[in-house]
């Protein structure tokens, strides 16, 4: 299968936005849009008896689970050239739907209003690269399916021979403004000073486009960015010939990795268990591994389905 996508990137806000809780008076109407009925990825398989049996009757009757998703956020969710939704979360949702015997679809929803959309009954779950955090667990349970942090993105060929974060000491590194990457790099100031080169010289730029331009022009030796975004950029920019991700064997999941998962309101525990069982079955039959490999995300998968691992 050949995947054609329009590359769209943005700062890694999903690691730093707090849980929103109940938001009174939010105008949620118009924030959500149904998925195009044309599926760019075909998922095959059989219904998993345990997962389907655990699914609450209301979802069996409706035949659909609506997942709030802030599209686009490649490679987790994005549009192809025909403006159909695709991406890792899209494909995994389709696979989970097969196991549950229902359609499991992404619904376009701004990230800031994803939790309120569940509380208002517009969506059933959140599937949007959402980090599983202790704070969010006050409102949601998470079926975890991803474990990633930040990675170092360099020019193809790695001309500066960057092998890990300490190789960035004393060098200029570009990051998007208003993200936590700069703070993570500053946490190495003492080690960098002790090693001799001095702290990383951090260039905070307006957005992902400016950051990548800085690396391409040689002003910065590298970018530090969400591992999933780094993998997608290396896979797609310049037909995969422009950038590469630094492989750090000591940090295979990236730096400061966190768990991400499907968020479900805590009162919907039966739905959480059904989705967990569906993920167990999707991992067991190899579909999960295939989807990870398709988007070059194998390093960030889990060996088994998780539940509230962020605590």
299 and 172 part of one domain: no
Domain hosting residue 195, numbered range: 149-255
| Average pLDDT value for residue range 89-97 | 97
223 and 97 part of one domain: no
In whole angstroms, what is the distance from residue 134 CA to residue 296 CA? Answer: 28
221 and 153 part of one domain: yes
| Selection from 95, 100, 74, 97 nearest residue 86 by Cα | 74
The pLDDT assigned to 177 comes to 85
The pLDDT assigned to 42 comes to 63
pLDDT band at 178 (very low <50, low <70, confident <90, very high): confident
**Spatial CB neighbours of 82, under 8 Å, sequence gap ≥ 6:** 38, 40
The pLDDT assigned to 41 comes to 54
Query: To the nearest whole number, what is the mean pLDDT of the chain?
Result: 87
304 in Cβ contact with 280 (< 8 Å): yes
- Over the stretch 100-158, which tens digit does the pLDDT of each residue have? 999 999 999 999 899 999 999 999 999 998 999 999 999 999 999 999 999 999 999 99
Is the torsion defined by CA of 101, 104, 261, 3 positive or negative? positive
Residue 187 tokens read as: 């946490």
Rounded to whole angstroms, what are the CA distances from 5 to 169, 212, 218, 297?
35, 18, 27, 16
* pTM for the full predicted model: 0.80
Angle at 279 between CA 123 and CA 110, to 5 degrees: 30
Residue 189 tokens read as: 């100031």
- In three-state secondary structure terms, 239 is helix
- Over the stretch 210-247, which tens digit does the pLDDT of each residue have? 999 999 999 999 999 989 999 999 999 999 999 999 98
In whole angstroms, what is the distance from residue 68 CA to residue 114 CA? Answer: 6
As for how many domains the chain has, the answer is 2
- Would residue 99 count as lying in a domain? yes
User: Above 60 in pLDDT, residue 17?
Assistant: no
Give the CATH number, domain containing residue 198: 3.40.190.10
User: Above 50 in pLDDT, residue 35?
Assistant: no
- Over the stretch 246-272, which tens digit does the pLDDT of each residue have? 988 899 899 989 999 999 999 999 999
104 and 164 part of one domain: no
- Would residue 3 count as lying in a domain? no
């Amino acid at each position: 299968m050949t995947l054609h996508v329009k590359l769209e990137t943005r700062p890694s806000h999903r690691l730093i936005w707090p849980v929103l809780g109940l938001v009174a008076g939010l105008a949620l109407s118009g924030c959500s849009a149904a998925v195009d009925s044309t599926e760019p990825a075909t998922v095959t398989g059989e219904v998993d008896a345990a997962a389907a049996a655990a699914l609450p009757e209301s979802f069996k009757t409706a035949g659909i689970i609506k997942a709030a998703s802030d599209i686009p956020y490649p490679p987790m969710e994005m549009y192809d050239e025909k403006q159909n939704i695709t991406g890792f979360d899209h494909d995994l949702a389709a696979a989970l739907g097969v196991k549950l015997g229902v359609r499991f679809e992404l619904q376009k929803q701004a990230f800031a209003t994803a939790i309120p959309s569940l509380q208002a009954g517009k969506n059933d779950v959140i599937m949007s690269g959402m980090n599983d955090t202790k704070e969010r667990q006050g409102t949601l349970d998470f079926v975890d399916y991803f474990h990633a942090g930040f990675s170092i993105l360099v020019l193809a060929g790695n001309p500066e021979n960057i092998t890990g974060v300490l190789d960035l000491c004393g060098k200029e590194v570009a990051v998007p403004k208003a993200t936590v990457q700069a703070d993570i790099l500053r946490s190495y100031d003492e080690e960098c000073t002790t090693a001799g080169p001095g702290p990383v010289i951090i260039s905070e730029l307006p957005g992902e486009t400016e950051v990548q331009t800085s690396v391409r022009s040689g002003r910065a030796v590298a970018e530090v960015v969400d591992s999933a975004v780094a993998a997608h950029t290396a896979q797609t920019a310049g037909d995969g010939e422009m950038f590469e991700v630094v492989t750090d064997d000591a940090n295979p999941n990236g730096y400061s990795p966190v768990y991400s998962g499907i968020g479900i309101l805590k009162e919907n525990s039966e739905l959480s268990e059904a989705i967990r069982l569906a993920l167990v079955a999707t991992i067991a039959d190899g579909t999960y591994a295939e989807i990870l490999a398709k988007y070059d995300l194998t390093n960030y998968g889990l060996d088994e389905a998780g539940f509230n691992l962020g605590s």
